[in-house]
């Protein structure tokens, strides 16, 4: 009986190693394809100049970020998934968490990684860089790749 349990444990370990390797292989493919897509998208480059002349990605509100995402999407510069990554409302998510915590969350609790000014403007390149770093720290390689791509797109709009 003991030998049977030992044999089952060994086959479970082998199976687990195969799944982990397959997962790592899939992550590598996603990271490579995400980077390749950013480099091969054929978009009228003037859209970046047009948007950069209207918005300051280092000092804008979330509402303005949503407008930028919409303009990029309409121009074919980003996908629907990238719009969702850019425009997930961390402010509303923070409020939902606070509400669910029934007063147990700190008053200054936020899931944003960077601070906004009194008008809600923030440096979105720094925000997405920090989000990507946090995803990488926690082993979320797909999240890291998605946020790094958004950061790269925003850098194309940076006037500095």
DSSP character string of 80-142: HHHHHHHH--HHHHHHHHHHHTTT-S-TT--S-SS---TTS-B-HHHHHHHHHHHHHHTT-HH
DSSP character string of 5-46: HHHHHHHHHHHHHHHHHHHHHHHHHHHHHHHHHHHH----TH
Question: How much of the chain exceeds pLDDT 90, in percent?
Answer: 68
Question: How much of the chain exceeds pLDDT 70, in percent?
Answer: 74
What pLDDT is recorded for position 137?
A: 97
**What is the DSSP secondary structure assignment for residue 57, as one 8-state letter?**
T
Q: Per-residue pLDDT tens for 91-131?
A: 999 999 999 999 899 989 999 999 999 999 999 999 999 99
Given a cut of 70, whether residue 9 has pLDDT beyond it is no
What pLDDT is recorded for position 4?
A: 47
Burial class (CB in 10 A: 0-12, 13-18, 19+), 141: middle
Among 14-18, 64-68, 99-103, which range has the highest average pLDDT? 64-68
Q: Per-residue pLDDT tens for 19-37?
A: 666 666 666 666 565 444 4
Q: What confidence tier does 40 reach under pLDDT thresholds 50, 70, 90?
A: very low
- What predicted TM-score, i.e. pTM, was given to this entire model? 0.72
Given a cut of 70, whether residue 81 has pLDDT beyond it is yes
Given a cut of 60, whether residue 51 has pLDDT beyond it is yes
What pLDDT is recorded for position 38?
A: 47
What pLDDT is recorded for position 30?
A: 61
What pLDDT is recorded for position 44?
A: 82
Q: What's the whole-number average pLDDT of the chain?
A: 85
């Amino acid at each position: 009986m003991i030998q049977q349990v030992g044999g089952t444990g060994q086959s479970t370990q082998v199976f687990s190693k195969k799944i982990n390797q397959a997962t790592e292989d899939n992550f590598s493919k996603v990271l490579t394809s995400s980077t390749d897509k950013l480099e091969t998208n054929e978009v009228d480059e003037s859209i970046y100049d047009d948007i950069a002349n209207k918005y300051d990605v280092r000092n804008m509100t979330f509402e303005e970020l949503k407008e930028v995402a919409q303009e990029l999407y309409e121009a074919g510069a980003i996908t629907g998934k990238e719009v969702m990554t850019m425009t997930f409302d961390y402010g509303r998510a923070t409020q939902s968490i606070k509400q669910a915590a029934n007063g147990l969350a700190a008053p200054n609790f936020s899931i944003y990684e960077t601070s906004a000014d009194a008008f809600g403007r923030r440096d979105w390149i720094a925000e997405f860089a920090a989000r990507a770093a946090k995803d990488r720290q926690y082993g979320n390689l797909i999240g890291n790749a998605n946020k790094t791509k958004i950061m790269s797109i925003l850098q194309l709009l940076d006037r500095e």
